[in-house]
Amino acid sequence: MKQDFAVLGLGMFGGSICRELSKEGKQVLAVDINEDKVNEFKNIASHAVIADTTDEDTLRELGIKSIDHVIVAIGENIQASILTAVILTDLNIKKITVKAQNDYHEKILNKIGVDEVVHPERDMGKRIAHHIISSNVLDYLELSDEHSIVEVKAGRKMAGRTLIELDIRNKYGCNVVAIKKGKDINVSPASNEAIQADDILIVVGTNNDISKFERHLVVD
Ligand code: ATP
């Protein structure tokens, strides 16, 4: 059967991707050089294979060329990750996602021309830092180097006030693009409706403006 995805490297990150994709009913080829790791995924992935992904012939034999999306989740061994990425780009795989271990690794992966470089430790670190500063910051996601989106609990400083009164766009340069009230989400929030302390605001802006907004309006 045709595999939808291949996950190369079954550490914490690759293993978690493999589990989730399989749970969603996708056909996943799981590959690792370590036999114990592969055995862990025998009953999870559609195929689990012991192989060294830095060997082009092995990858070809595994039918990697017919897989639309390959995820390289080899972190520690940067050399193996880069070599695997080079082979995959040479094989013209439709979509390649590679986990970067550090900024230097990320730079090289971008130079090689992989489609997507992810940096889960760094991104998660940023999200947790924002949550540590205020537990009312529920999530934080970078949209680009300059722009981010945050999900914040309104809390006591915004409670009982309307978007007009808070004047977030003028004062902080950010936009409240949606307000969640329990399970309901309003994607064009009324400017004259009072916000409740438990409401969740989704706010977009530049990183500087978001920081300003968080400092002034988001309190524990
Ligand atoms: P994570 O940070 O996701 O937890 P990890 O620290 O568990 O990762 P890493 O060393 O980053 O593990 O590598 C992820 C997996 O990649 C390991 O299970 C390792 O055996 C596998 N791996 C390393 N080199 C190769 C290779 N050349 N071919 C196939 N798999 C490899």
Got the DSSP string for 93-139? -SEEEEE-SSHHHHHHHHHHT-SEEE-HHHHHHHHHHHHHH-TTEEE
DSSP lists the bridge partners of residue 8 as: 31, 72
Handedness of CA 21, 27, 33, 35 (dihedral sign): positive
DSSP letters for 180-210 = EETTEEESS--TTSPPPTT-EEEEEEEHHHH
Instruction: With CA atoms as reference, report the closest residue to 14 among 22, 25, 4, 3.
Output: 22
Please report the domains of the chain, with CATH numbers, ordered by start residue: 4-118 (3.40.50.720), 123-218 (3.30.70.1450)
Atom of ligand 1 nearest to the CA of 80: 27
Residue nearest to atom 4 of ligand 1 (CA): 12
Q: How far is the CA of 77 from the centre of ligand 1 (A)?
A: 7
- Pocket of ligand 1 contains residue 53 by CB under 6 Å: yes
Q: What angle do CA 49, 53, 59 make, to 5 degrees?
A: 75
Name the residue with the closest Cα to ligand 1, atom 26: 52
Q: Alpha carbon 138 to chain centroid distance?
A: 15
**Ligand 1 atom 23: residue of nearest CA:** 74
* 70 Cβ closer than 6 Å to some ligand 1 atom: no
Q: Is the CB of 120 under 6 A from ligand 1?
A: no
Instruction: Name the closest-CA residue to atom 12, ligand 1.
Output: 11
Is 10's C-beta closer than 6 angstroms to any atom of ligand 1? yes
Per-residue pLDDT of the chain (220 residues; tens, 9 = 90+): 677 999 999 999 999 999 999 999 999 999 999 999 999 999 999 999 999 999 999 999 999 999 999 999 998 899 999 999 999 999 999 999 999 999 999 999 999 999 999 999 988 888 888 888 888 889 888 898 899 999 999 999 999 999 999 999 999 999 999 999 988 999 999 889 899 999 999 999 999 999 899 888 887 6
- Torsion over CA of 57, 61, 64 and 70, rounded to 10 degrees? -70
User: CA 166 to CA 203: how far, in whole Å?
Assistant: 13
- 128 alpha carbon – ligand 1 mean position (Å): 24
Q: Distance (Å, rounded) from C-alpha 106 to C-alpha 213?
A: 30
Cα angle 27-32-33, degrees, rounded to a multiple of 5:
155
